[in-house]
């Protein structure tokens, strides 16, 4: 423009320079824009403001032109740079959102829960550009946490193991340095972007993963160079950690469901075997008993032993059959309103036959009203007879056994109390499990550990319960509770 400067208006010159400044900032960013603005300011003055070839300004009004040009070009460069930065940010965020959406869909649509988790680990590794990403989930074995994503690229996996347990226990993030030292980091609220790392030379980062205040896993990021994340990466990491937590929770739920299903199947099989075996044993046992009776009448005394033993076996088989019916919910009970007096009367009669002269005191603790409950008379009697039999069996022969019935709010409690050895705390719930006999029990061919299991299930089947308590002064108290009723 210099050859034509005599004809050129100052506005033409200023606009031409402005175009250069704008193109420069658009292409090369803010710094280039501002440098160009400065250069243009000087060139404008030197070449186009008289006297030419000097920085002197003859016409004071030209100062105004120059100043207006300078301010306009700097502000334009700044604005353009900011607009560009915001556009970049928006583009990056849009990409992040798309990325996360894809990842969410992948995690949810993965056929197996651990595949979903592996996908999350892969995305974390590739997005953050690190060497390895592992997600540890709860594991049944020597180590409570095991990596679901085994990545051979992990540069310091062996050392990490111990730290994983630590991070999961304390629920605090930690960082490891290349020299082997570890540092705890302060926790950040879940959902918030991960804050800048507090140490600059961390080569691995361990982040606890929790869902609803429960630790479900640990995310381990490892690198061969020190880890450094920019703001966008930290934001992304926080979102991904949340996906990882959901993925880990899903893995846990699936494992739990599989275990429950296997247990249910085993239980069903056991019940089926129990039912069929006990049923098939009854017929031959009846035949054996009939034959033994016949032989005994012919004078062979040994037949009495066969008869006695087959009777015992028959009782055992009957118990087994009842247990399988109770398990299958196939034993029908007739709960109706009964007087407790009737139940205790029947118990007294039965006990007279089995007590063998021992002191069994049966009493009713109901001063005014008639005590009544809603229960199955036959099965409740069976429970109480079983409890008294146990007391007779386990308590010393010279101690009395007491049976007391009383009302307690909405239930009637019938307690069988003895002065036997009692039951150690560790065994108190186990004794109600079928086939369970404590290790210290004397081997007894006539006990299979079914009595209390059947008794408790019978109690529950009629809306009651059967519990154990330590008796004051030594001994046991087994209490049958049934719903109270009025006659």
Closer Cβ to ligand ADP, 74 or 477, answer by number: 477
Q: How far is the CB of 370 from ligand ADP (least distance, A)?
A: 29
Q: How far is the CB of 416 from ligand ADP (least distance, A)?
A: 8
- Return the residues of window 461-480 that contact ligand ADP according to CB under 6 A: 476
Q: How far is the CB of 277 from ligand ADP (least distance, A)?
A: 19
Closer Cβ to ligand ADP, 175 or 455, answer by number: 455
Q: How far is the CB of 461 from ligand ADP (least distance, A)?
A: 17
The residue range among 257-265, 280-288, 321-329, 444-452 that interacts with ligand ADP, by the rule CB under 6 A, is: 444-452
Of the residues 225, 438, 474, 487, which one makes contact with ligand ADP according to CB under 6 A: 438
Report helix, strand or coil for 145: strand
Q: Any contact of residue 433 with ligand ADP (CB under 6 A)? A: no
Q: Any contact of residue 358 with ligand ADP (CB under 6 A)? A: no
Residue 80's contacts (CB-CB under 8 Å, 6 or more residues apart) are 22, 25, 26, 33
- Return the residues of window 84-143 that contact ligand ADP according to CB under 6 A: none
Q: How far is the CB of 424 from ligand ADP (least distance, A)?
A: 10
Residue 310's contacts (CB-CB under 8 Å, 6 or more residues apart) are 285, 288, 289, 292
Closer Cβ to ligand ADP, 116 or 464, answer by number: 464
Per-residue x/- marks for ligand ADP, 403-422, CB under 6 A?
Answer: ---------------x-xx-
Q: How far is the CB of 427 from ligand ADP (least distance, A)?
A: 7
Beta bridge partners of 174: 184, 206
Could you give the CA distance from residue 301 to residue 327 in angstroms, rounded to a whole number? Answer: 40
Of the residues 124, 452, 458, 485, which one makes contact with ligand ADP according to CB under 6 A: 452
Q: Any contact of residue 326 with ligand ADP (CB under 6 A)? A: no
Report helix, strand or coil for 484: strand
Q: Specify whether the CB–CB gap between 240 and 205 falls below 8 A.
A: no
Could you give the CA distance from residue 160 to residue 208 in angstroms, rounded to a whole number? Answer: 13
Per DSSP bridges, beta strands 401-408 and 202-211 are unpaired
Residue 120's contacts (CB-CB under 8 Å, 6 or more residues apart) are 103, 107, 135, 240, 243, 244, 247
Task: Report how many residues bind ligand ADP under the rule CB under 6 A.
Answer: 19
Closer Cβ to ligand ADP, 250 or 456, answer by number: 456
Q: Any contact of residue 340 with ligand ADP (CB under 6 A)? A: no
Q: Any contact of residue 322 with ligand ADP (CB under 6 A)? A: no
Burial group, residue 55, by CB count within 10 angstroms (0-12, 13-18, 19+)? exposed
Residue nearest to ligand ADP (CB): 451
Of the residues 37, 405, 423, 484, which one makes contact with ligand ADP according to CB under 6 A: 423
Q: Any contact of residue 447 with ligand ADP (CB under 6 A)? A: yes
Could you give the CA distance from residue 379 to residue 334 in angstroms, rounded to a whole number? Answer: 9
Closer Cβ to ligand ADP, 298 or 472, answer by number: 472
Q: Specify whether the CB–CB gap between 252 and 172 falls below 8 A.
A: no
Residue in the structure block whose two tokens are 């997600």: 135
Of the residues 70, 208, 451, 464, which one makes contact with ligand ADP according to CB under 6 A: 451
C-alpha closest to that of 116 among 144, 71, 149, 72: 149
The residue range among 95-103, 105-113, 140-148, 443-451 that interacts with ligand ADP, by the rule CB under 6 A, is: 443-451
Could you give the CA distance from residue 73 to residue 80 in angstroms, rounded to a whole number? Answer: 10
Establish how many alpha carbons lie within 13 A of residue 154's alpha carbon, considering only the half-sphere containing its beta carbon: 23
Q: Any contact of residue 391 with ligand ADP (CB under 6 A)? A: yes
Secondary structure (DSSP) of 97-134: HHHHHHHHHHHHH-SSHHHHHHHHHHHHHHHHT-SEEE
Q: Any contact of residue 437 with ligand ADP (CB under 6 A)? A: yes
Closer Cβ to ligand ADP, 348 or 396, answer by number: 396
Residue in the structure block whose two tokens are 């301010």: 71
The residue range among 22-30, 318-326, 336-344, 449-457 that interacts with ligand ADP, by the rule CB under 6 A, is: 449-457
Residues that bind ligand ADP in the complex, under the rule CB under 6 A: 390-391, 394, 418, 420-421, 423, 431, 437-438, 441, 447-453, 476
């Amino acid at each position: 423009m210099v050859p034509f400067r005599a004809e050129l208006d100052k506005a033409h010159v200023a606009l031409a320079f402005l175009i250069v400044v704008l193109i420069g900032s658009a292409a090369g960013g803010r710094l280039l824009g501002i440098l160009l603005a400065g250069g243009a300011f000087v060139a404008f003055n030197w070449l186009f403001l008289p006297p030419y070839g000097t920085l002197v300004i003859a016409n004071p009004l030209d100062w105004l032109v120059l100043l207006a040009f300078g301010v306009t070009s700097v502000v334009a460069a700044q604005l353009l740079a900011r607009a560009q930065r915001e556009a970049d940010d928006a583009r990056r965020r849009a990409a992040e959102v798309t990325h996360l959406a894809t990842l969410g869909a992948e995690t949810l649509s993965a056929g197996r829960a651990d595949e979903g988790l592996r996908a999350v680990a892969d995305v974390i590794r590739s997005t953050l550009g690190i060497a390895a990403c592992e997600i540890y989930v709860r594991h049944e074995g020597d180590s409570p946490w095991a990596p679901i994503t085994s990545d051979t690229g992990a540069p310091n996996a062996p050392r990490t193991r111990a730290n994983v347990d630590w991070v999961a226990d304390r629920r605090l993030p930690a960082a490891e340095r290349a020299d082997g030292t570890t540092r705890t980091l302060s926790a950040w609220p879940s959902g918030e972007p991960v804050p800048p790392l507090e140490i600059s030379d961390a080569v691995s980062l361990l982040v606890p993963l929790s869902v609803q205040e429960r630790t479900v896993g640990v995310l381990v990021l490892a690198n061969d160079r020190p880890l450094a994340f920019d703001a966008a990466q930290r934001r992304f990491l926080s979102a991904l950690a949340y996906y990882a937590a959901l993925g880990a929770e899903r893995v846990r739920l699936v494992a739990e469901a599989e275990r429950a299903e296997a247990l249910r199947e085993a239980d069903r099989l056991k019940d089926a075997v129990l039912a069929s075996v006990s049923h098939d044993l009854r017929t031959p046992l009846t035949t054996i008993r009939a034959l033994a009776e016949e032989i005994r009448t012919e004078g062979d005394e040994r037949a009495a032993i066969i008869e006695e033993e087959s009777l015992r076996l028959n009782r055992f088989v009957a118990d087994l059959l009842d247990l399988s019916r109770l398990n299958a919910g196939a034993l029908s009970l007739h709960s109706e309103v009964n007087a407790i007096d009737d139940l205790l009367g029947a118990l007294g009669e039965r006990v007279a036959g089995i007590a063998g002269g021992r002191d069994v005191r049966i009493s009713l603790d109901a001063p005014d009203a008639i005590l009544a409950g809603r229960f199955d008379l036959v099965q409740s009697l069976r429970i109480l007879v079983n409890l008294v039999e146990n007391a007779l069996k386990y308590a010393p022969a010279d101690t009395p056994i007491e049976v007391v019935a009383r009302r307690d709010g909405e239930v009637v409690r019938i307690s069988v109390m003895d002065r036997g050895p009692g039951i150690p705390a560790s065994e108190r719930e186990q004794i109600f499990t079928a086939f369970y006999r404590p290790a210290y029990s004397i081997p007894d061919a006539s006990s299979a550990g079914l009595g209390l299991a059947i008794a408790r299930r019978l109690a529950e089947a009629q809306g009651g319960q059967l519990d154990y308590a330590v008796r004051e002064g030594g001994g046991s108290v087994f209490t049958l509770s049934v719903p109270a009723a009025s006659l």
